[in-house]
Amino acid sequence: MLLDKNVYPALAGKKCLTKKEVKTMESFDDILNEKQPVLVDFHATWCGPCKVMGPVVEEIAGEVQGSARVLKVDIDKNEELAEKYQIRSVPTFMIFSNGESVWRGSGVMDKAVILEQLKRYMV
């Protein structure tokens, strides 16, 4: 899910981006190479801990809107991305700054921990 609704208002209410939607709108790499840091939540619809973290990720997106981007990537619909970033468990959170992975965490995490890491790269 691309939670930045100002950039993609047509996606408001969608649960996640499909591979086709990512390619149609802009490539995943283009998103990661933007000036703003990007938090990516790699998740799966069948994953209990992912369901727990969903509302937390949405809260984070609301708090950092305009300063960072937040993406949710369903690993079952985006297997190439999951393989590229070696996602072995879900949820896995990654922060990218200037196209580079700068932080990674997995499992149920405290919102403050994720926010603290993301704010390190926000201007």
Catalytic residue annotation: 47, 50
Q: And the tokens for 31?
A: 């998103």
Contact indicator for 74, 2 with CB cutoff of 8 Å: no
C-alpha to C-alpha distance for 36 and 11, rounded to whole angstroms:
20
- CA–CA distances in Å: residue 75 to residues 23, 34, 36, 119: 16, 22, 23, 25
- Unique residue bearing structure tokens 């926000």: 122
Neighbours of 35 (CB within 10 A): 7
Compute φ and ψ for 91, nearest 5 degrees.
-75, 145
